[in-house]
Structure 1
């Protein structure tokens, strides 16, 4: 059982206990001693609901929490969905990486908003120039969030307990199987790091795009493809197609 599951169990059960203490304790509300039928019915309702929450909550945390979840792109409707799932997928080995990717997503959301505002200062939505910039932004954004999805799935596939046991095994004489486990785990860890690096690079490219757009006073739509930031993003999009 993960540390996160333990914290959830403690919070859930402590909350149920505290609620019932407040409602039924003689030193507090002591509602059960009331002569009102409505209050008595409320007390019975609280007891029944407490039992249901206890059973369902503990079952979901213990058993559902152990289920390995693999996500598809269609399950994410908006950037905030990635944030919610990423925070819930956090494991001890990837705490720093998860926090870092959350910050990257927040930066991506802000940059996308800034880019849209700046574009509308120079172009109208129907202009070809606007569409070309939007296509570059959309392509970079798709790659960025696809990387987040892949990172989440890798973290979910990562066996935290097996990894910790293997690390403890290296303190003594490491067996061949232990070495193999650590090698596989290292591949997962390296993949997560490379995904973060790639998303950091996308954010930098978007910074370059924002800078170039902010310098535009008058532009010929025929020269858009020659802008360095556009070329870099288009190259990234084209390169990524071959590795999907």
Structure 2
């Protein structure tokens, strides 16, 4: 349970307690459920029962009922992506890929910070060269998260129980060999897509490392323009190819 739900539950309990104190305390409304009139007794007992039901229902909602799934399209921050990936971390057949995706998210954040730090040391933020580098880094970061979103789209429709059903060697003869093979081929397609996205992101991380190296060599290499840097050309080509693919 996250801290937000805990505070909500504590607030609910505190509110119920204060309400009961206000109604049953002799110094306030003073409803007497022991020696009072039949109406007072009924009202007091009803209040206690309703209070218990509210606390129980509120506890269920806040402690046990899962939060509504956030649409993958609405993921915005790195924290959103990490939280979504963590939902699949305990699925045995997906764990290795999910752990790698989480590691990639951590690495791109570090590489981006390093690049921004190096750029701020070499250029003024108002310089055209600085702005070109920032634009390219921003574009490649969007491409990286687009790949993470692609992974999440595949994971969201992957049925781990069905996978186990059709890959469990202890269930011979339940299905035809043709059906089992078709199912396995379909599952392999899922894994291939995920592996493809992970591989693409590893390539992006490599290019950011290469870009960092080339920036560090700017003083000793004579490039007529930023666009002529080998890694910048490769990154720009990658971005263009992705835009064409999305059209």
Whether the TM-score (by the shorter chain) exceeds 0.5 is yes
Q: 2:182 is matched with which residue?
A: 180
Q: 1:158 is matched with which residue?
A: 158
Cα 1:50/1:127, change in 2 over 3 Å = same
Higher helix proportion: 1
Structure 2 Cα separation of the partners of residues 70 and 243 of structure 1: 23
Structure 1 Cα separation of the partners of residues 212 and 148 of structure 2: 22
- The answer (yes or no) to whether the contact 1:87–1:98 under 8 Å persists in 2 is yes
Q: Secondary structure at the match of 2:225?
A: helix
Q: 1:242 is matched with which residue?
A: 244
Structure 1 Cα separation of the partners of residues 52 and 96 of structure 2: 41
What 5-or-longer segments of structure 2 have no aligned partner?
2-24, 27-46
CA displacement at 1:52 relative to structure 2: 2.7
Cα 1:220/1:213, change in 2 over 3 Å = same
Q: 1:14 is matched with which residue?
A: none
CA displacement at 1:92 relative to structure 2: 2.6
Instruction: Give 1 or 2 for the bigger CA radius of gyration.
Output: 2
Q: 2:6 is matched with which residue?
A: none
Q: How many residues align?
A: 205
Structure 1 Cα separation of the partners of residues 223 and 81 of structure 2: 35
- The answer (yes or no) to whether the contact 1:89–1:152 under 8 Å persists in 2 is no
Cα 1:45/1:109, change in 2 over 3 Å = farther
Structure 2 Cα separation of the partners of residues 70 and 81 of structure 1: 10
Of structures 1 and 2, the one with the larger relative CO (CA 8 A, separation 6+) is 1
RMSD of aligned alpha carbons:
3.3
- The answer (yes or no) to whether the contact 1:140–1:233 under 8 Å persists in 2 is yes
TM-score (norm 2): 0.71
Q: 2:84 is matched with which residue?
A: 85
Structure 2 Cα separation of the partners of residues 179 and 219 of structure 1: 56
Q: 2:201 is matched with which residue?
A: 199
1:73-94 superposed Cα distances (whole Å, 9 cap, x missing partner):
xx12222221111112433321
Report whether the alignment pairs 1:112 with 2:112: yes
TM-score (norm 1): 0.72
Equivalences for 1:223-238 in 2 at 5 Å?
Answer: 223-238=225-240
Q: 1:52 is matched with which residue?
A: 58
Structure 2 Cα separation of the partners of residues 104 and 153 of structure 1: 17
Structure 2 Cα separation of the partners of residues 151 and 119 of structure 1: 31
Q: Secondary structure at the match of 2:72?
A: coil
Q: 1:132 is matched with which residue?
A: 132
